[in-house]
Structure 1
Amino acid sequence: MSSDAPVGARPPAGKTFFGHPRALSTLFLTEMWERFSFYGMRAILVLYLTAAVADGGLDLGESSANAVYGTYNAMVYLMALPGGWVADRLIGARRSVLWGGVVIAAGHYVMAIPTGWSVFAGMALIVLGTGLLKPNISTMVGDLYERDSPRRDAGFSIFYMGINLGAFIAPLITGFLGEKINWHLGFGAAAVGMTFGVLQYVLGRRNLGDAGARPADPLLGADRRRALTRVGVASVVVLAVLLVLLVAGWFTVDTVVNLLTVVTVLVTVGYFARILTDREISGTERSRMKAYVWLFLFAASFWLIYDQAGSVLNIFAADQTDRSVGGFTFPASWLQSVNPILIIIGAPLAAALWLKLGHRVSTPTKFAVGLVLNGLSFVLMAAAAQAAVGGDLVSPLWLVAVYAIQVAGELSLSPVGLSATTKLAPVKYASQMLGLWFLATAVGDAIGGQVARLAGTWSQPVYFLTFGLASVVLGLAAVMFTRQIRHLMAGIH
């Protein structure tokens, strides 16, 4: 089957949304509220984990808290892989998004319960729900366009703006409630946001037409029963492993974090091996997947640095930044809104730029630019950390500048990567490929959580400078391999 066939069904014609299919508005708003809940909770998570018990926190050390944060992010994106499989083979993208939203909302409501255990139980539910929602809503966006349409990148950039609108508003609300009043009240605000998202999705479903209504490659009969049996067995094995850890006294935060990091990497290697050796995909599709391996590695390296904004940089904002304005000390988590507001400003400009440039700038080149800019942000962060040596509080403008550079890099890589994934995906793995794209974030976050432990043992200037320069070097190396990667992409730009 040709990999150039459009995926999914076209939505009904009629009114447009910024010149794009009307269905984009429903998906835009659903994703906005889901990101409100995710980034609202994430903005205060590490601060809550490291806060003293007397202040309502869990009093975890910074090293463990950073690792928990990284691993939690990794699990959110790792579960996108089975979430894509569920949509592709069992219930379709549309129902996956609905049930994912319901489970996410339940997780945030559990986190709002003022006990220590509720946070970890709630995070587990959010991980499961996001796995169902995140890859499949992006797949539905891809369904709105022809596979190699230049408008596709522009559409994903607008969708990306919805992500960041929710991410901008969330820390302002959850951060104030969590840091100034009660941590669990902040988690509760995230729950309300996801509830709005689910209601909006249900009310706007008429805009979607047939998009995402059916599985792309449904399992039927004996194949379906066999697959469900395997899922059940796998679930039992996971529970058994957790029980063994608990009985043996090894069920600690660090043990679980380390185990999940290893699992994330092994799943990634195994899944790429499975696709590349699948005899049902064509030679062209296999070539494109080989190109995608390189894009995946670049993306994972990008997220390893970028997603430390909510952990290492968030703690820097809380402990080493002067946040006093007119006698009011604003919450450290408010600085988490800087990144998304800059993306809201930059996303339309990036969408217009990619549309104007068309195919003259390739996807690998955009990835290389993202890596270089990401590295430069950490080089600047090394200067900020040097200025804070000795206990001086530095201006928050240091972090604003760091986030501005990172945003420029993100707009070069992330929405473009979403679009490239839908273009390079073998037809058989349509929704699962979006899960694989998010797995790049999972790998980056999982390894990044382990790397962030070094922030507590190395001097901060050395830590930021080392990883910043490493990203710059990798980006420059990516430029050298652009021609080879484009050849593997077999006509996809």
Structure 2
Amino acid sequence: MSQNSTDQFFKNPVLGHPAGLFVLFFTEMWERFSFYGMRALLILFLTASVFGEMPGWGWTRENASALFGSYVGLVYLSTMLGGYFADKIIGFRWAVVVGAVLMTLGHASMAIETEFSIYLGLVLLVFGNGFFKPNMTSIISEMYKDRPEKKDGAYTLFYMGVNAGAFFGILLCGYLGEKVGWTYGFGLAGIFMFFGMLQFWLSQNIFGDIGLKPTAESKAKSEIGDTDKRNPFTTIDLVLIGISSVLGLLWILNDPASKISNGEIDIFGFLGENGNNIAIVSALVIFIGLLISRLLRYSQITREKMIAVTFFAFLTIFFWAIFEQSPNSLTIFASDYTNRVLEGNWSTFFLIINSLITVVPLAIITWVLYLLFKQTFKNYAVANIILSTSFVIIWAIAIWMLLKDFYSAGYLALSDSTLEFLKIEKVTSPITEVPATWFSTLNSLFIISLAPLFSKWWESKYNPNANMKYGIGMGLLALGMACVAIGATGIEPGAKTASVSMIWLILVYLFHTMGELCISPVGLSYVSKLVPARMIAFMFGVWYLAVAIGMKGAGKFGENIDKIANEHGLSYFFWMLTIVSIVMAIFAVIMTPVIKKLMHGVK
């Protein structure tokens, strides 16, 4: 049997899928744990006062949002670099390992909490994500290349791991960061990234020949059957790409640097007060010109399909710019303007619900781990022992967190010796305070709960077309922002604190998650369906550029929260985001007949 035959992976399946899928499942789970765990804390750490029990950097929200926007934007831009190195030079496996090592070092660096170490950590995380993120799904795609009918189920299971990692990362890293110390939250993220890297490396033979360093023979095979017309990049194209890329990268770095340094660092200062704006507008104009030039070189049908992809990429910018307020302005709203102290029956209700949503998913994933052990322990004992160790630690932290919460609320009596052993401070006034980062876990929880319902919808006769999905998604985004805008109505302009009901934030995450489920599955699938093979790398680059712009846009929106709140009130800020979402929803629906024609029957 050929090492490249799909059949070899299905000989000893786990839940009907290759055991290798679950190696990827747990690797991705720990990577998402680390990424979302750190991301949930970043804005809170940067804006926390330099005084008190939990000192931060005392930054303004504008500066914190500027850095946050550049960080997440660069994370998505770096995927193009990581994808290129994996495809052409080092292969998927080495790319995943390199990415995991860089992220481990990045989290470790952030845990030190010095100015240099935080910046170094963010740089390492950017490049680490770039190498890691695009190559996990590439391995899955190769593993199922002869079993396309099983691929949908494989990605469903894989994204369960993605969302489980995000959920536990925000829950536990966020809890430790807010309640114990920033170092513990940042450090925990790095520990589990390290575990994920080790178990992947030690289990890699389970993938056969998939993801090895590319050879001349493998590159030649990948081009078999590719009959699309070649349109190589001209010298002028490459020069324009270089100029646009350099301007864009310098801007995304200079934007936060110029704000944080009060203008002492400003690469585009020679262009005057609007130097940053001139640079990024120039970069976008050059890129749009290049994109139009490239599109005009293709036949009419191919060109029109690629215009349709560009249209969806444009809408995607606005979706992520508003959706990614979760770790930014929405976390600030949760921290400073939401009543997170619960008493009586509401305290009891929260503690029970929080215990269930912590223990039940963890138990289910532990059961999946057990099934994987049964199939792979004989051949991959060390990897399995490392993986099991990580779960022992995660169970210990989860149980410690729940015990601490029940004790702090007065529902559990613990002796002084037990408190000392568990490192829990003695309390005299029982209270239940919900961490500000806890609300961000709702996104992953709602995705896991609602994804099967949306999947059934997409498979039914009522499955809407792509434009309607975008329209519905942007409409749900607007509905979520409207909820928090209504909740913030009573907050006076300039107010630094308030006690808004938590229900508004819960509704925000419910509606935003439903919006994500409408839009997330659409984008990349249409890139692969509409774009010819010769152009797919370029158009994936366009797509990830759109996502990166959206992420930076989220930071730009967040930068203005204080200015708008001080002048018009916090509600006004969220109503602005609501209106932008509604306009984009209407635009998506109105363009349905035009885009349908451009897609030439692709569904």
Assess same fold via TM > 0.5: yes
Question: How far apart are 1:24 and its partner, in Å?
Answer: 3.3
Number of the residue aligned with 2:231: none
Number of the residue aligned with 1:292: 309
Q: Secondary structure at the match of 1:197?
A: helix
Number of the residue aligned with 2:415: none
Higher relative contact order (CA 8 A, sep 6+): 1
Query: Separation in 1 of the partners of 2:285 and 2:23?
Result: 31
Number of the residue aligned with 1:454: 560
Query: Separation in 2 of the partners of 1:400 and 1:78?
Result: 31
- After superposition, the Cα gap between the structure-2 partners of 1:482 and 1:393, relative to the gap in structure 1 and judged at 3 Å, is same
Q: Secondary structure at the match of 2:326?
A: helix
Number of the residue aligned with 1:224: none
When Rg is computed on C-alpha atoms for both structures, the one with the higher figure is: 2
What aligned pairs does 1:349-388 form with structure 2 within 5 A after superposition? 349-356=453-460, 360-388=463-491
Q: After superposition, what is the alpha-carbon deviation per residue over 1:164-198, rounded to whole angstroms, capped at 9, x for unaligned?
A: 11111012211122112221221111101211221
**2:90–2:213 contact (8 Å) kept in structure 1:** yes
Determine which of 330, 336, 341 is the counterpart of 2:434.
330
TM-score by length of 2: 0.69
Number of the residue aligned with 1:223: none
- After superposition, the Cα gap between the structure-2 partners of 1:114 and 1:22, relative to the gap in structure 1 and judged at 3 Å, is same
Q: After superposition, what is the alpha-carbon deviation per residue over 1:388-408, rounded to whole angstroms, capped at 9, x for unaligned?
A: 447540122211110000000
**2:65–2:555 contact (8 Å) kept in structure 1:** yes
Aligned residue type for 2:443: N
Query: Separation in 1 of the partners of 2:277 and 2:85?
Result: 21
Give the root-mean-square deviation of aligned CA atoms. 3.9
Q: After superposition, what is the alpha-carbon deviation per residue over 1:345-366, rounded to whole angstroms, capped at 9, x for unaligned?
A: 12233334334459x5333322
Number of the residue aligned with 1:345: 449
- After superposition, the Cα gap between the structure-2 partners of 1:433 and 1:345, relative to the gap in structure 1 and judged at 3 Å, is farther
2:36 is equivalent to residue 39 of structure 1: yes
Question: How far apart are 1:48 and its partner, in Å?
Answer: 0.3
Q: After superposition, what is the alpha-carbon deviation per residue over 1:207-250, rounded to whole angstroms, capped at 9, x for unaligned?
A: 4344443558689xxxxxxx9xx99xx99x989x989x999973
Number of the residue aligned with 1:320: 337
Query: Separation in 2 of the partners of 1:268 and 1:130?
Result: 28
**1:174–1:189 contact (8 Å) kept in structure 2:** yes
- Greater shift, 455-464 or 39-48, is seen at 455-464
**1:64–1:254 contact (8 Å) kept in structure 2:** no
Aligned residue type for 1:84: G
- After superposition, the Cα gap between the structure-2 partners of 1:397 and 1:154, relative to the gap in structure 1 and judged at 3 Å, is farther
Number of the residue aligned with 2:588: 478
Q: Secondary structure at the match of 1:321?
A: coil
Number of the residue aligned with 2:184: 185
Aligned residue type for 1:470: V
Question: How far apart are 1:375 and its partner, in Å?
Answer: 1.4
Q: Secondary structure at the match of 2:173?
A: helix
- After superposition, the Cα gap between the structure-2 partners of 1:297 and 1:242, relative to the gap in structure 1 and judged at 3 Å, is closer
Query: Separation in 1 of the partners of 2:213 and 2:5?
Result: 9
Number of the residue aligned with 1:310: 327
Question: How far apart are 1:275 and its partner, in Å?
Answer: 9.2
Number of the residue aligned with 2:574: 464
Query: Separation in 2 of the partners of 1:100 and 1:317?
Result: 32
Question: How far apart are 1:280 and its partner, in Å?
Answer: 9.3
**What stretches of structure 2 of length at least 5 have no aligned partner?**
223-237, 270-274, 343-408, 410-430
**2:336–2:498 contact (8 Å) kept in structure 1:** no
Q: After superposition, what is the alpha-carbon deviation per residue over 1:392-447, rounded to whole angstroms, capped at 9, x for unaligned?
A: 40122211110000000001111332333333443245566555433332111112
Number of aligned positions between the proteins: 471
What aligned pairs does 1:113-192 form with structure 2 within 5 A after superposition? 113-143=112-142, 155-192=154-191
Query: Separation in 2 of the partners of 1:147 and 1:267?
Result: 40
- Greater shift, 420-429 or 342-351, is seen at 420-429
Query: Separation in 2 of the partners of 1:490 and 1:73?
Result: 35
**2:85–2:95 contact (8 Å) kept in structure 1:** yes
- After superposition, the Cα gap between the structure-2 partners of 1:439 and 1:143, relative to the gap in structure 1 and judged at 3 Å, is farther
Number of the residue aligned with 1:30: 27
Number of the residue aligned with 1:66: 65
Query: Separation in 1 of the partners of 2:482 and 2:123?
Result: 35
Query: Separation in 2 of the partners of 1:254 and 1:184?
Result: 35
Question: How far apart are 1:264 and its partner, in Å?
Answer: 10
Question: How far apart are 1:286 and its partner, in Å?
Answer: 4.0
Query: Separation in 2 of the partners of 1:268 and 1:137?
Result: 33
Q: Percentage identity across aligned positions?
A: 34
Aligned residue type for 1:38: F
Query: Separation in 2 of the partners of 1:183 and 1:427?
Result: 46
- Greater shift, 336-345 or 399-408, is seen at 336-345
- Greater shift, 422-431 or 331-340, is seen at 422-431
Query: Separation in 2 of the partners of 1:407 and 1:16?
Result: 32
Aligned residue type for 1:317: A
**What stretches of structure 1 of length at least 5 have no aligned partner?**
1-7, 220-226
Query: Separation in 2 of the partners of 1:162 and 1:238?
Result: 32
Q: After superposition, what is the alpha-carbon deviation per residue over 1:99-157, rounded to whole angstroms, capped at 9, x for unaligned?
A: 11111111111111131221111000100111111122233344455699686555444
Aligned residue type for 1:339: N
- After superposition, the Cα gap between the structure-2 partners of 1:21 and 1:272, relative to the gap in structure 1 and judged at 3 Å, is farther
Number of the residue aligned with 2:500: 394
2:549 is equivalent to residue 443 of structure 1: yes
Query: Separation in 1 of the partners of 2:285 and 2:209?
Result: 31
**2:471–2:585 contact (8 Å) kept in structure 1:** yes
Query: Separation in 2 of the partners of 1:306 and 1:265?
Result: 27
Q: Secondary structure at the match of 2:112?
A: coil
Question: How far apart are 1:324 and its partner, in Å?
Answer: 1.6
Query: Separation in 2 of the partners of 1:141 and 1:197?
Result: 17
Question: How far apart are 1:448 and its partner, in Å?
Answer: 2.1
**1:12–1:208 contact (8 Å) kept in structure 2:** no
Query: Separation in 2 of the partners of 1:299 and 1:272?
Result: 20
